[in-house]
Amino acid sequence: MTERVEIFTDGACKGNPGPGGWGVVMRYRGSERQLYGGEPETTNNRMELTAVIRALEALKRPVKARVTTDSTYVKNGITGWIENWKRNGWRTAARKPVKNCDLWRRLDELVQNHQVEWSWVKGHSGHAENELADQLANRGVEELKQ
């Protein structure tokens, strides 16, 4: 696990809930792979999580990866909140069920296979890879309409 896969993710939703999309840009050894998709009735947070899940599912073997997201929900959830949620039986500090628990559980399962570093970038701030992931997420929404 010496070389690192760079992963850039984004989610989009037209209405919240509404039709949504997710986008991923993956880079490794000079190669780039783009992934995207959509769901007819979802939320922005679900699409942000789905983007990261789809990226990690696309990895063929355990790797070092840096995931860059513009979602504080994803970054704070996976780097901080998730341990308490698990300890509390997937309940929040207020004892309410964790929203999007199915996706959080899947993401938790996937990160166990890799060494993941988490990075946050402000959305729509000119970060090239984040902008590309955003375009892919929006393509996922648009293709649902066709």
Residues annotated as catalytic are: 10-11, 48, 70, 124, 134
Q: Which CA distances in Å does 28 have to 33, 59, 64, 133?
A: 9, 11, 11, 16
CB neighbour list of residue 128: distance below 8 Å, 6 or more residues apart: none
Confidence of residue 131 (pLDDT cuts 50, 70, 90): very high
**Whether the Cβ atoms of residue 99 and residue 73 lie closer than 8 Å to each other:** no
Q: What is the CATH number of the domain that holds 136?
A: 3.30.420.10
> Which pLDDT does position 1 carry in this prediction?
52
**Whether the Cβ atoms of residue 32 and residue 17 lie closer than 8 Å to each other:** no
Total structural domains in the chain? 1
Confidence of residue 146 (pLDDT cuts 50, 70, 90): confident
Range of the domain at 86: 4-145
Per-residue pLDDT at 99 exceeds 60: yes
**Whether the Cβ atoms of residue 137 and residue 11 lie closer than 8 Å to each other:** yes
Confidence of residue 145 (pLDDT cuts 50, 70, 90): confident
